[in-house]
Amino acid sequence: MKISDFTIDEFSPVFIIAELSANHNGSIDIALETIKAAKRAGANAIKLQTYTADTITIDFKGEDFLHNSGTIWDGKYLYDLYQEAYTPWEWHKKLLEAAEQEGLACFSSPFDLTAVDFLEELNVQAYKIASFEITDIPLIEYVASKAKPIIISTGIATNEDIELALDACQRMGNYDIALLKCTSSYPAPIEEANMIMIKDYSERYGVISGLSDHTIGSIAPIVGTCFGAKIIEKHFILDRNLGGPDASFSMNEEEFTQMVMEIREAEKAIGKVTYELTEKQKQARQFSRSLYVTKDIKKGEQITTENIRSIRPGYGLHTKYYKEILGKTITKNLERGDRLDLKSILL
């Protein structure tokens, strides 16, 4: 998968996305400054959301359209929430240009077909399918038909939902897909993060896998990195005091910077499968065990448990010979503290 100048595969560094979402608080100046801050914090990409209240729902005050499921948005009608949270479409071009100037990839989550058409006019280089849209098969098919990388969040998805979404992409000839483990709670409890699914997604579906995270802090992204996440997305805000629908579970610049640093350190710690020793490990072998003379031995005497031992340092004969050489005859005088070697033993 390639997004802008970034290659994302099993060998690449984690691709870190700062999700702008509603954290512009209705100000394009805040949005532009957030993009600059995301770059300073070490993000690789900034992600937008492309919808209006009218493209995502209808203005209806019925019970079905009221948030009442234990979220931070309870008591708000869908239309009112999205009217508050949306990113004006007339900002998109300027935000994309600002991201490019900062060296950040910039793409978006479209929430209906008109949003896809609009983003195509702006030549975005990738698409994100939001968690709640994973069940919108016509939208996924339309996005997939644009032959660009697709990142899909799985926050509310069953195994069947994931398979239907992947099938929709592949029917359109698009296999450039990543799946992000996501817990659609805001904020998400850490005990529901279930990071082991990142590895399972990769193995089960043969795709790039990652994390769209709504937990507080950076524990989940770090653990996700250790389970093979190659994409990590986190909501980003200049200052939580700005308020807004997503402020409470968004990271500020200082926190995001710390998270990026910890992800990069985790990548170093993961390393690779190898049994070759580093130079430092080779040097450290001097402190391993080996066979040494611990009591003077005259030529012609036998080796016993009294005159040799397995001790530190590791310059002597390998301990694998210990039982084999017991009772054997020494061919020259050896003193206490001498390294034992096979040349000194009559085998």
Encode pLDDT of 7-44 as tens digits: 999 999 999 999 999 999 999 999 999 999 999 999 99
Region 185-196: mean pLDDT is 91
pLDDT band at 269 (very low <50, low <70, confident <90, very high): very high
Looking at residue 272, what is its pLDDT?
Answer: 87
Domain annotation for the chain: domains and CATH numbers? 2-51+86-270 (3.20.20.70), 279-346 (3.90.1210.10)
Q: What is the rounded distance in angstroms from the CA atom of residue 153 to the CA atom of residue 132?
A: 8
Q: What is the rounded distance in angstroms from the CA atom of residue 29 to the CA atom of residue 118?
A: 22
Q: How many CB atoms lie within 10 A of CB 172?
A: 17
Region 260-283: mean pLDDT is 93
pLDDT band at 77 (very low <50, low <70, confident <90, very high): very high
Answer yes or no: is pLDDT of 70 > 80.
no
Nearest CA among 56, 105, 93 for reference residue 78 = 56
Answer yes or no: is pLDDT of 69 > 90.
no
Looking at residue 67, what is its pLDDT?
Answer: 83
pLDDT tens profile 207-265: 999 999 999 999 999 999 999 999 999 999 999 999 888 898 999 999 999 999 999 99
Confirm if 6 and 46 have CB atoms less than 8 A apart. no
Tokens for 83, please give them.
């009217």
Looking at residue 163, what is its pLDDT?
Answer: 98
Average pLDDT, the chain: 95
Region 52-73: mean pLDDT is 88
Instruction: Indicate the range of 48-52, 235-239, 282-286, 304-308 predicted with least confidence.
Output: 282-286
Looking at residue 186, what is its pLDDT?
Answer: 81
The number of CA neighbours under 13 Å toward the Cβ of 344 is 21
Looking at residue 184, what is its pLDDT?
Answer: 79
Confirm if 315 and 289 have CB atoms less than 8 A apart. no
Looking at residue 68, what is its pLDDT?
Answer: 80
Q: Which pairing describes strands 308-311 and 290-293: parallel, antiparallel, or unpaired?
A: antiparallel
pLDDT band at 290 (very low <50, low <70, confident <90, very high): very high
